[in-house]
Amino acid sequence: MSDSQLTLDDLCINTLRTLAMDAVQKANSGHPGAPMGLAPAAYALWTKHLTHNPKNSAWPDRDRFVLSGGHGSALLYSLLHLTGYGLTIEDLQNFRQWESKTPGHPEYGHTNGVEVTTGPLGQGIANAVGMAMAERHMAATYNTDEHTIVDHRTYVMCGDGDLMEGVALEAISMAGHLKLGKLICLYDDNEITIEGGTEIAFTEDVAARFEACGWNTIRVADGNNHEAIDAAITEAKGQDEKPTVILMRTTIAYGSPNKGGTSGAHGSPLGEEEILLTKTNLGWPYTEPFFVPEEAKEVFGTCITKGEAAEDEWQARFNAYAKAHPKRTNQWVDGVSGFLTFGWDKEIPTFTPEDGKIATRSASGKVLNSIAPNLPGLIGGSADLAPSNNTYMACSHEFQNGAFDGRNIRFGVREHAMGAVMNGMFAHGGVRPFGGTFLVFADYMRPAIRVASLMKMPIIYVFTHDSIAVGEDGPTHQPVEHVAALRAIPGLTVLRPGCASETADAWRLALKITDGPTAIILSRQGLPVSDRSQSEGSVPSGAYILKDTEGTPDAILMASGSEVHISVEAAEKLAEKGIKARVVSMPSWELFERNQQNYKDWVLLPEVKTRVAVEAGIAMGWEKYVGDKGTVISMEGYGASAPGGTLLEKFGFTSDNIVEKTLALIEKNNA
């Protein structure tokens, strides 16, 4: 390579550095250090290896890029501006400002070219694993010997902070086990964290960790050597049997005379004086902030022409594929578009009271297996709990290396990664992921659930063993606060069906929801199927009248999940005492709140003040529905180790206790 070419490369790399430090300085907020240290790697990847079309960021066969350390967003925004994704200089100047396209961390759906929201460290690398899994699944499902329409790579940049998070190690382990050869990780090994050098808390052999997990490792001693990084990426692309990590020894805030290589450059602007010194030190001849040399524009602009050519070539291949395989093509289009294939729900079973008691987790398994053959994009599994969660699809086989067309994913005991991997799978496109575990372990998934809600991704969570009725395993496995905690996440729809019939409705709803994730909360114990022949309203309304009375009721009993049927029993016992009690099943607060006020008032009559809510979890939130003259039969402590039926009795989840509490409340309110 000629000296002039090297000079041009350096000019382009320093363009990335100066744009990032100028953006952070103008905002007086942000992280300049990582973008400055990673600029050579970003330049090498984006201009020489990444197959992407800036004019069509949704092109299905593009390479995926994830900046796992999302605090370094100034680097990504600079790349998106320079390569033609529509971000303007004004957008860079508006970094971290109100309603800007350049928020502090990359946000999915907000900025063109951002593949996934990366805020919490470690989530991004797990998202990348999910993307690589989705690519392998789509390739194995749709490619033929004659036609290839899915063939791309997933690249992720991560740092020390990412790799210290447990979710990252879980995802790294998954990727190594699955031998995801099209996954390439560029590790920003700058030996700096917020508190100081990594030696204060992070002294392990990172390469050995990756190797132990089945990854290929490549070291680049000088992370400022873009040619060495270029060669390392080329080598990684030749390795299809293992995922690859490229360990680059970088310098945070490279070029800064006083802050380079220090923690002071991590999360604070360099300062105007230091920026001028840095630009001089880098040989940058321009004093104007946000300046982009014409030569750099031309180099980065080649991404557009190369990207358009790559997509045109793919489109020709896709057209030939569509002609040869019209049925497969229609299925592929349905998957990529998220369209629910016609007839997907035609075999969902109907449950009746004559079926006897059915645990809603069992009903869920039956419903899932009725849908799976008719919805090919549905893919998922469990955190080593498929027999308990009933999440295995009999119509398919396991998703494993050598069998990537399988739809049953063995996530292993990795709830943290499972949540983030599903986000990555959906972000990739073409699949509709679901994942299951015990409700008590929803806390392990909470960061990923929250990010899914932020991204409005329709992920489906199957949470079973939903209350103290878990029984003998004791309080460590008995969720108490978990349903309330999930309800607290904005954008998450929580569905706690009260019987098998409501469970079928829950799955129908979950798959139709496209603007956010859904948690389906299911019982371990058998529950009678509700007689809904006389009910008014339905599950999609979030709450409905399951059992009513003639005239205005004396009391309203409301419940979710496994407490619905005991509320019905209580209403029948109250009727024997001359008390008219309406029973309201409330499987979803979120859906109920979307109704017009007249519907809500019709279900929960404002004039009826005697209201009893029953749920085997904490009472928090129910006060909104019971009012100041109602009460909640709930758990305000932990459970215990004993048979589930015993626990329900001891903690007051019986029809007799509901009757007693209702009568006492009527007497109090009438006093």
Residue with tokens 């079309």: 53
Tokens linked to 63:
């390479």
Strand partners, 558: 584, 613
Tokens linked to 301:
């602009």
pLDDT of residue 117: 98
Strand partners, 536: 545
CA separation for the pair 667, 657 (Å, rounded): 15
Q: What is the pLDDT of residues 145-200, one digit of tens each?
A: 999 999 999 999 999 999 999 999 999 999 999 999 999 999 999 999 999 999 99
> Does residue 5 surpass a pLDDT of 60?
no
φ/ψ (deg, to 5) at 190: -100, 0
Q: What is the pLDDT of residues 619-645, one digit of tens each?
A: 999 999 999 999 999 999 999 999 999
Tokens linked to 559:
């419940």
Q: What is the pLDDT of residues 21-79, one digit of tens each?
A: 999 999 999 999 999 999 999 999 999 999 999 999 999 999 999 999 999 999 999 99
DSSP of 407-471: -EEE--S-HHHHHHHHHHHHHH-S-EEEEEEEGGGHHHHHHHHHHHHHHT---EEEEE--SGGG-
Beta carbons of 648 and 642 less than 8 angstroms apart: no
CA separation for the pair 118, 165 (Å, rounded): 14
Angle subtended at Cα 359 by Cα 643 and Cα 561, rounded to the nearest 5 degrees: 90
Closest residue by Cα to residue 93 from 109, 113, 78, 108: 78
DSSP of 514-529: -SS-EEEE--SSEEEP
- Please give the helix or strand (H or E) that residue 17 lies within, else none: helix 3-27
pLDDT of residue 6: 54
With b meaning 16 or more CB within 10 Å and e meaning fewer, what string describes 538-558? ebbbbbbbbbbbeeebbbbbb
User: How many angstroms separate the first and last alpha carbons of the chain?
Assistant: 93
Beta carbons of 19 and 290 less than 8 angstroms apart: yes
Where does residue 208 rank: exposed (0-12), middle (13-18), buried (19+ CB within 10 A)? exposed
CA separation for the pair 620, 6 (Å, rounded): 63
| DSSP 8-state code for residue 536 | B
CA separation for the pair 25, 272 (Å, rounded): 7
CA separation for the pair 298, 358 (Å, rounded): 66
pLDDT of residue 537: 84
> Does residue 2 surpass a pLDDT of 60?
no
pLDDT grade for 385, boundaries at 50, 70 and 90: very high
Q: What is the pLDDT of residues 429-484, one digit of tens each?
A: 999 999 999 999 999 999 999 999 999 999 999 999 999 999 999 999 999 999 99
Tokens linked to 606:
């404002």
CA separation for the pair 185, 156 (Å, rounded): 5
| DSSP 8-state code for residue 315 | H
CA separation for the pair 545, 535 (Å, rounded): 6
Q: What is the pLDDT of residues 572-605, one digit of tens each?
A: 999 999 999 999 999 999 999 999 999 999 999 9
φ/ψ (deg, to 5) at 295: -60, -40
Instruction: Tell me, yes or no, if 415 is annotated catalytic.
Output: yes
Cα–Cα separations (whole angstroms), residue 532 to 246, 280, 521:
59, 77, 20
Q: What is the pLDDT of residues 267-299, one digit of tens each?
A: 999 999 999 999 999 999 998 999 999 999 999
Q: Which amino acid is at 389?
A: N
Q: What is the pLDDT of residues 84-126, one digit of tens each?
A: 999 999 999 999 999 999 999 999 999 999 999 999 999 999 9
Tokens linked to 171:
């995802």
> What average pLDDT is seen over the chain?
97
Single pTM value for the model: 0.97
Where does residue 361 rank: exposed (0-12), middle (13-18), buried (19+ CB within 10 A)? buried
pLDDT of residue 15: 98
Identify the three-state secondary structure at position 103.
coil
Per annotation, catalytic residue among 311, 415, 590, 615: 415
Quickly count: other Cβ atoms within 10 Å of residue 141's Cβ. Answer: 21
Closest residue by Cα to residue 433 from 407, 456, 415, 453: 407
Q: Which amino acid is at 633?
A: I
Q: Which amino acid is at 450?
A: R
**Using DSSP, how many helices (H) and how many strands (E) does the chain show?**
24, 21
HSE, CB side, 13 Å, CA atoms: give it for residue 642.
Answer: 10
Closest residue by Cα to residue 132 from 158, 115, 152, 108: 152
CA separation for the pair 201, 263 (Å, rounded): 14
Furthest C-alpha separation in the chain: 96
Beta carbons of 393 and 156 less than 8 angstroms apart: no
Beta carbons of 587 and 562 less than 8 angstroms apart: no
Closest residue by Cα to residue 328 from 131, 149, 152: 149
Q: What is the pLDDT of residues 520-578, one digit of tens each?
A: 999 999 999 999 988 888 899 999 999 999 999 999 999 999 999 999 999 999 999 99
CA 265 remoteness from chain centre = 30
> Does residue 4 surpass a pLDDT of 50?
no
Quickly count: other Cβ atoms within 10 Å of residue 96's Cβ. Answer: 18
> Does residue 141 surpass a pLDDT of 80?
yes
| DSSP 8-state code for residue 530 | P
Identify the three-state secondary structure at position 65.
strand
CA 511, 513, 515, 521: dihedral to nearest 10 degrees?
A: -80
| DSSP 8-state code for residue 125 | H
CA separation for the pair 644, 28 (Å, rounded): 57
